[in-house]
Structure 1
Amino acid sequence: KKKKKKKIVVPLWVCQGGFAGDSVVPPEHRLEKFKGKEMMATYNLGGAIPDAEFLFSSQTENVINRIRMVAKNVCHGVVYDEELHLKMRAIKDGKPGLELIYDAMDGYLSRRPAGKKLHDPLAAVVALVPEVCNYTHVTPHRVKGQWGSKLLRGAQQGRIDIAVSFNRQVFEEAFMY
């Protein structure tokens, strides 16, 4: 007797990547370096274009319930800087993971005092603490290696949403937990 394969459904897939342009991000949350842009090349999606397009397609609707994108322009606002380093110093002792981060970033900040963008850590926090960001429903799209997002209007709700802003305090509390 053959065993029937169990259908696996992913309730939420968090993707660090994509881009939410001016037509998607409210003006008060736009980073200066991205103002006026609707499309940008993004490393993660650009490195696997056919795979990304497949994941966003209707072919995966029965396998992936929701897709949450943590956009490049939101990730670039999350920086491990001297301010976060001082907070980390105050709580790291006795916590091996935080001690490791602190020690690594101590050396990094001595070479690059402007800090380090926390792309992947933000996406990891979003997977565990979704309220760290605000989201809107979109359809991602690509043109000649650049990615953008088309806003779903009104009552339209798709299965894909994208981060348009983040709450630094919520991020820091989750990151340093």
Structure 2
Amino acid sequence: MATKDFAVRTEPHVANLGALGELHFIPEVFGDEFLDGYTQVQAAQAALSGEQDLTKMDPEALRDVYGSMRGFLARLMTPESAERFLRFEVIKTGKVFDHFRSREEAEAKAAELGPTARVEDNSMRVPDRVLIELLEWTTELYGGGNERPTTPSSGSSRASRRAGTPGKGSSPSKGSTRTAGRSAR
């Protein structure tokens, strides 16, 4: 009988955003949680029709892409972090009546409450480059790192430096030795 041990994370992943605080992401995704959200991000990005210059993009389409990215990330966060990251408050008579993680839900509730109700976006503000870095990081965490989301190049961040220093040791594989100067056998 063969035995194989599998590591299953139980502690949340932590994204430290400096002065903005930490965002905690669920330890593991199950089923289609990751793929469903990632599909929404890709669909929103496809609506940009491959445009790379942010100044030429339709503002509404760009808003949809960023909204999809934020929604995708919030789905992967612990409830406490998601509450801080995406928060649309319904205000009536100067007081918070209720709050939601999507503008659509908040707008629907405000419409139910009448013309004096309004929606206020009190979501965590993060720079676009950090939003993109979070998207790339979570894609590596949950998606196996095989595929990175595509983003407009002018909004892309610089690649992170690799940890550690490059090794100077020789490869243990005989197939990777240099062949220059050797004669064929």
Instruction: Flag whether TM exceeds 0.5 (same fold).
Output: no
TM range (shorter): under 0.3
Larger Rg: 2
Q: Higher strand fraction: Structure 1 or Structure 2?
A: 1
Which TM-score applies when normalising by structure 2?
Answer: 0.25
